[in-house]
Structure 1
């Protein structure tokens, strides 16, 4: 587990190389992405560290519905009666976590990218193969300011998935990019700003185009779905990701 008080009001919980975020303000807590099933006790511990009780959590917002970001969504919805927000293009995958599109076969990735093996093994150990689907989601609208703690602005960033959204937090000069831009690719083990490899990305060309939407936020800090936060500004992260291209 890697817990970080990253910025006042934004807290990163990293587990099995997957990040989720607690966005905290006077109205309560928003959970952004939900990790894997084994993240549950770590989430409870993280809430205590930020001085929050479970009843102060107001909403769950998903950048996208891949299994490694969906792991606790059904539990949070069922036990804590929380609304779970996602773009409508994510609703099918949220209900069927194992059924999502990706460009490349995964069979050859362990041979070409052995650095990804321990990462993927850790994700499986954390419950990646046992994620429950979730239905009756609340729809995100690109461009809207969502009325949840932190009041994130929804930035449409399709490509990794067809309904992927990032969350811009202007008050914090930060953007939560999910897997639209990461600093660690779980399938290759490569670090640094990049889009996720075709082993998990539906449309790499579109993912590269969506970097422009991230750049438009001009955020000082990037909080990715995998890897460490990037503090040299979203423009430099986008530049490096675009140069790296697809893998």
Structure 2
């Protein structure tokens, strides 16, 4: 398999999407500094450096990394950022242990059955493996993400409580910009099935899909104009339409 480089794209004023192997994380620039929303996979390091170069910054200039949840494909650079550049990750208390041990979770359906049920997902999972998905070091994230209370970091993002995909999943809202980082509570590409469009992630990687469905209400009421998911393309139709579309699809 040819080496896949991360792509680096400005998706909103002050927001750069770093994408590789169907995984996204985001560099957010505000007047008071830089933050990350999630930290992707280990093989996305060069993409992060390119994104930082675009804003004239270096890894040590990042004030914090906010984790939507603790799965391996969202904490992949956290340990390196903390160990080499003293960048601390932050997570909801219910995902603190998962962030430290990002493979220790039990989805509703066995993960090994996903490729058999959905062969379109096999090439995506192979690309994720090539980007380091099987070799993620966990991180001792600070468990101070509190839903509804703006984080004391640049840009003042507000955590949006959206459990189900994991016990402590939170999206992050930039209220002044109308931008919602939905993490894996709502995606536009499910890596496990290969299906696109607003939807939930398959039960093969979700702890409680029914709770996840209920959590969509919290995403909808943000009235964000732009939804930036953990997997898939940005959704420009707004949070309410993204939620409506995901509900129409249902859960695999």
Distance 2:28 2:141 in 1: 23
Q: Which secondary structure state, in structure 2, belongs to the residue aligned with residue 230 of structure 1? A: coil
Name 1:245's counterpart in structure 2: 250
With structure 1 as the length reference, what TM-score do the two structures score? 0.97
Structure 1 unaligned residues grouped into runs of 5+:
none
Name 1:193's counterpart in structure 2: 198
Distance 1:56 1:28 in 2: 8
Runs (4+) of structure 1 exceeding 6 A deviation are none
Distance 2:143 2:214 in 1: 26
With structure 2 as the length reference, what TM-score do the two structures score? 0.95
Question: Of 117, 126, 145, which residue of structure 2 is paired with 1:140?
Answer: 145
Question: Of 200, 209, 213, which residue of structure 1 is paired with 2:214?
Answer: 209
Q: Which secondary structure state, in structure 1, belongs to the residue aligned with residue 74 of structure 2? A: helix
Instruction: Give 1:136 shift.
Output: 4.8
Structure 2 unaligned residues grouped into runs of 5+:
1-5
Deviations along 1:127-149, one digit per CA (max 9) or x if unpaired, are 11110011152421111101111
Name 1:169's counterpart in structure 2: 174
Distance 1:81 1:28 in 2: 15
Distance 2:192 2:136 in 1: 19
Distance 1:41 1:4 in 2: 14
Question: Of 29, 43, 48, which residue of structure 2 is paired with 1:38?
Answer: 43
Compute the RMSD of aligned alpha carbons.
Answer: 1.0
Is 1:113 paired with 2:118?
yes
Instruction: Give 1:106 shift.
Output: 2.2
Name 1:78's counterpart in structure 2: 83
Distance 1:101 1:195 in 2: 17
Distance 1:163 1:111 in 2: 29
